[in-house]
Structure 1
Amino acid sequence: MRQRRFLHRIFFLYIPLFFFMGFALFPYLWLTISSFTSEEKLYDTDQSPWSFHSFSLEHYVDLLEDTEFLSWVWNSLFVGLASTIFSVFIGALAGYALARLRFRGSSYLGMGIIVTYLVPVSVLFLPLAYVFYNWGLVDTRLALILAYPTHLIPFCTWFMLGYFKNIPADLEESAMIDGCTRIQAFYKIALPLSLPGVLAASIFAFTFSWNEFLYALTFISTDELKTIPQGVHGQLVLGDAYYWGKLMAATFLGSLPIAIIYSFLSEFFVKGLTEGALKQ
């Protein structure tokens, strides 16, 4: 019986998981090997793309010397952190208000927020471009910091709404009986208990801001102000000419922060998603 259960786990769990991991990691492994392959061997059709006989940093050196890659990293980091903090802060407040406060039209307001989140970015960028042009914000980081929350705040509000509903309201009511105000009950009781949800929403918001391309392409034109996706597309892809070595190096470096974040905070991310999805 134990041997049968062991074989069942191997054939129906480990082997499918092995193929899935190979499929998921295949592009990342290929770009990593290509980024450390010299230019001459990278374009050698007689050589297997999986052969790794020599180690070269020329693509990384060319990327840092010939482009504004460090500026792109700083812009992506600054815009991502600013829009994430702003969106999660507003989303937590709005989600808590919709979960705890009873007022006329609260259910319709929550439904409207969900509908707003479903509006695609490709629909919003044209009216936002008109507004930012009239405000004089085009070609500034502030344009991206204000544009990203239009998509992130509805998600964070909807996500935190479900999470706060999962926290017993008796805890906050007891604190308010002891003299806490509603705001104090929020940041002393509800917010610490919802920390996994806050981290999950923050990870999603930062990932979206780090990888977003359409808003950055629409609002930013100066090379020093571009984010990583836009900078890589603008300077490493010129018409039908692809600088594959530097493209692979930029993709590898640009994906490291997100990979590190998910590696260390994946437990909080999964916990926040599962607890926010369950209703007690």
Structure 2
Amino acid sequence: MSASTVSKAEGIYAKAGSLSSERRWALWTAYASLIFAAIIFLAPPVYMFVTSLKGSAEVANMTGNPWLVRNPTLENYTTLLSNRPFLKFFLNSAIITVCVVAITMVISILAAFALARMRFWGSQFLATGVFLTYLIPDTLLFIPLYQIVGGLGLLNSIWGLVLVYPTLTVPFCTWIMIGYFASIPKELDEAALIDGATWPQMLLKIFIPVAMPGIIAATIFAFTVSWAAFVYPTAFVTTPDQMPLTIGVVSQLVRADTFAWGQIMAGALLAALPPVIIYAFLMDYYIAGLTAGATKG
């Protein structure tokens, strides 16, 4: 073997070692960043869970380590689950969420299909305007919406919330669906039109089955927003029997300057359980839908 060949081989090995070292440092940096982010994001729910296992006396004791439970108990959970107002809050949230998700998906799918595939004058401008409406803060909308809901006689009613929640969910869900419908090859609808299919038939038999990941992503978003909304129910609902879970727990477990911290934390964890379960099983569809909506259209 010649000297030049040996030197080339040594150079290749040195370069490979350098790349391996760089890759190792990149992995260590990535792992360190992920661990740090996990600690930051998991600290609040872990602390909530720890507090929910404490009795009132232990919560009031300020001398011990707040992250440790000396006498764990499920009393806070059993008290809430046997409390009729809490179960009513949960039922109200379920009714509101199901109705809002159904309304949102019907409007979003029809609007997105029209804007993405049925090209007409101003469709691009209208599609952009739909998404821009999502950027308007809730705090600017609830005052005029309060007057509208009051004029319809729906204040202090879950149906008033069913009416106003779609103003939060429809714009973003429509934007997601526009991106997903736009990513579907145009040859599919052109072939369907040649075969004599109507636009509704194309939507039901071609676009909805193909765009199911995007529909699931939009459904998860609508569910999360309607389940966790706080500003609108705080403004529109004052009677306990019509309150959803987000404000019902706070209103019933906070009395003047007395906070039932154990039950508040237990109620917050129970309220967060449905979205956590949904995200755990459908996270891949949610990411796929958001990715398509962000890169197409």
Q: CA RMSD in A?
A: 1.8
Instruction: Return the offset for 1:177.
Output: 1.4
Instruction: Please give the per-residue CA displacement for 1:61-97, whole angstroms capped at 9, x wherever unaligned.
Output: 3323456111111111111121012112111110110
Q: Does residue 132 of structure 1 match 2:149? A: yes
Q: 2:97 aligns with which of 76, 80, 85?
A: 80
| Partner amino acid, structure 2, of 1:175 | A
Alpha-carbon distance change, 221 to 279 in structure 1, aligned in 2, over 3 angstroms: closer
Residue type matched to 1:127 in 2? P
Which of residues 175, 182, 193 in structure 1 aligns to 2:199? 182
The answer to whether structure 1 residue 26 and structure 2 residue 58 are counterparts is: no
* Long gaps (5+) in structure 1: none
Q: Are 1:67 and 1:235, in contact at CA under 8 Å, matched by a contact in 2? A: no
1:259 aligns with 2:288: no
Shift of 1:58: 1.5
CA distance in 1 between counterparts of 2:240 and 2:296 reads 47
**8 Å contact 2:89–2:245 — kept in the other structure?**
yes
Query: Conserved in 1, the CA contact under 8 Å of 2:175 and 2:293?
Result: no
Superposition map of 1:145-160 within 5 A: 145-160=162-177
| Aligned partner of 1:228 among 239, 245, 248 | 245
1:164 matched residue in structure 2: 181
Amino acid at match of 1:107: Q
Q: How many angstroms does 1:112 deviate by?
A: 2.3
Q: What amino acid maps onto 1:179 in structure 2?
A: G
The alignment partner of 1:68 has SS state of helix
From 56, 70, 81, the equivalent of 1:53 is: 70
Are 1:90 and 2:107 an aligned pair? yes
Alignment-derived partner of residue 290 in structure 2: 273
What amino acid maps onto 2:239 in structure 1? T
Which of residues 185, 194, 216 in structure 1 aligns to 2:211? 194
CA deviation after TM superposition for structure 1 residue 174, in Å: 0.7
1:246 maps to which residue? 263
Q: Given the two structures, how large is their TM-score scaled by the length of structure 1? A: 0.94
Q: How many residues align?
A: 280
8 A contact 2:253–2:264 mirrored in 1:
yes
Structure 1 segments, 4+ long, off by >4 Å, are none
1:95–1:161 contact (8 Å) kept in structure 2: yes
Cross-structure match for 2:118:
101
Matched residues, percent identical? 38
Deviation at 1:33, TM superposition (A): 0.9
Counterpart amino acid of 1:122?
T
Greater shift, 9-18 or 195-204, is seen at 9-18
Distance, in Å, in 2 between the alignment partners of 1:216 and 1:178 is 49
Contact 1:236 1:242 in 2 (8 A): yes
